Amino acid sequence: MTIQINTDNNVEGHARLESYFSEELKKTLSRFEDKITRLEVHLGDENSEKSGGNDKRCLIEARPVNMQPVAVTNHADTIEKAFQGALDKIKKVLETTFEKQKTY
């Protein structure tokens, strides 16, 4: 499972942040490791320099083997909260996707 983390120009993407997010993804989604080829995380600040609530965005796209990609987005007031929310969402989407696949 390849993990790629992308940030826009308004978010600092330093090694510690990327390492933390990668470890959280691996830990939370480890049970799907053999079913996913790639995870892409896109972090952004939609209001740039301006302040505002819930302006941090995290999009996580998972690419399951032999299936269409699935993606979720979460907004929050910090990058970390946006990431955690998106991580919870992608976990639920993947659980549902793979459970449906078992029934067929």
Domains assigned to the chain: 2-103 (3.30.160.100)
Residue type, 49: E
**The predicted structure's pLDDT at residue 95:** 95
Backbone angles phi, psi at 69, to 5 degrees: -65, 150
Over residues 16-33, the pLDDT tens digits come to: 888 999 999 999 999 999
Find the mean pLDDT for residues 36-56. Answer: 84
Query: How much is the pTM?
Result: 0.89
Closest CA to 29 of 78, 6, 63: 63
**The predicted structure's pLDDT at residue 54:** 78
Name the residue with tokens 């909260």.
81
**The predicted structure's pLDDT at residue 49:** 67
**The predicted structure's pLDDT at residue 50:** 67
